[in-house]
Amino acid sequence: MTQVMKNSIPWPTIMVVISWYTSNIGVLLMNKYLLTNYGYKYPVFLTMCHMMLCSVFSYVGISVLDIVPLQSVQSKNQLLKICGLSVVFCFSVVCGNVSLNYIPVSFNQAIGATTPFFTAVFAYAVSRKREAWVTYCTLLPVVAGVIIASGSEPSFHLFGFIICVASTAARAFKSVLQSILLSSEGEKLNSMNLLLYMAPIAMLVLLPATLLMEGNVIRITIELAGEDFRIIWYLLLSSSLAYFVNLTNFLVTKYTSALTLQVLGNAKGAVAVVISILIFQNPISMIGMLGYVLTIIGVILYSETKKRYT
């Protein structure tokens, strides 16, 4: 039996999945710690740091380490499409980080699980893409679970909830736009090359937003580093994890499949909920937990119907 398991799931695949889980959950917990427990309330600047290090690591990974072949931008039109995706991407990540100021990671993840619902809505609204009626039915428990969890969430914060929903919707909108805008053979970019071009653009978009919304954050961070140098290590760790989320996401798809990635993602959300509750000790009601479970069941059913009817 052990030999069969070894043959079925190679060790590189297991290590990639573990790394993906670690980086995904790690960046969430690190951001939550920075923004609330540590008191570093600058989510826009934090996101800009993420994009800055993603730009550097993407260049090193592709141009120096040759993790994947470099794909060049073919036209000005393609560059404009990438810029549009970068703006939506920025909005999604910033909103996600802002929401962590107000709601616990567990609730953030429950809301994030509704991504398939928003993806289906935007796919129909933008390109009139219809799913099987059974697929739409599976989205009902996804939404119902979040409604139940929201109604009984002890740490519920209306603004945090709205901004987290906005982040989830923007993430779904980006995936739909990406599939439409970069659909032709000459314009397709793998996720690592897309990040290589998107991260610097996102950084340029976030710089004026940071200066406008968070004022003297750079001076404040330098002064804070003089008192407590750990803040630099925290920012570097958070930003590094943000890059490795994208890298391991790509590697999991490479070693397995897009569908496996989706299934593993469902389980990741549940693991993140449990770990965040254990670490941050945020209160959660039994009804709220049932809401989370209902949402996860809905997402699993959605994945299964997509696999069957696509």
In this predicted structure, what is the pLDDT of residue 1? 39
**Computed over its alpha carbons, how large is the radius of gyration of the chain?**
20
pLDDT confidence band for 263 (50 / 70 / 90): low
pLDDT confidence band for 7 (50 / 70 / 90): very low
Q: Answer with the residue of higher pLDDT: 256 or 218.
A: 218
Mean pLDDT of the chain: 86
**Burial call 184-203: b when 16+ CB within 10 Å, e when fewer:** eeebebebbbbbbbbbbbbb
**Which amino acid, 159?**
F
Q: Write out pLDDT tens, residues 154-165.
A: 888 999 999 999
Least confident of 39-48, 58-67, 248-257: 248-257
Q: Write out pLDDT tens, residues 266-278.
A: 677 777 778 887 8
- In this predicted structure, the answer to whether residue 10 has a pLDDT above a threshold of 80 is no
Q: Answer with the residue of higher pLDDT: 182 or 279.
A: 279
Task: Tell me which residue of 50, 58, 56, 57 sits closest to 31, measured CA to CA.
Answer: 50
Compute how many other C-beta atoms are within 10 angstroms of the C-beta atom of residue 50.
Answer: 27
Cβ proximity of 155 and 283 under 8 Å? yes
- In this predicted structure, the answer to whether residue 2 has a pLDDT above a threshold of 80 is no
Q: Residue ranges per domain, the chain?
A: 2-309
Rounded to 10 degrees, the C-alpha dihedral 226/227/230/233 comes to -20
> Residues in the chain, how many?
310
**Which amino acid, 92?**
S
pLDDT confidence band for 3 (50 / 70 / 90): very low
pLDDT confidence band for 177 (50 / 70 / 90): confident
* Euclidean distance between CA atoms 106 and 272, whole angstroms: 7
308 token code pair: 């069957």
Task: Tell me which residue of 268, 265, 260, 243 sits closest to 67, measured CA to CA.
Answer: 243
278 by Cβ neighbours in 10 Å (0-12 / 13-18 / 19+) ranks as exposed
3-class state of residue 79 by DSSP: helix
- In this predicted structure, the answer to whether residue 231 has a pLDDT above a threshold of 90 is yes
The 3-class SS string of 191-204 reads HHHHHHHHHHHHHH
In this predicted structure, what is the pLDDT of residue 9? 61
Task: Tell me which residue of 216, 188, 227, 8 sits closest to 81, measured CA to CA.
Answer: 188
Task: Tell me which residue of 245, 262, 254 sits closest to 190, measured CA to CA.
Answer: 254
- In this predicted structure, the answer to whether residue 73 has a pLDDT above a threshold of 60 is yes
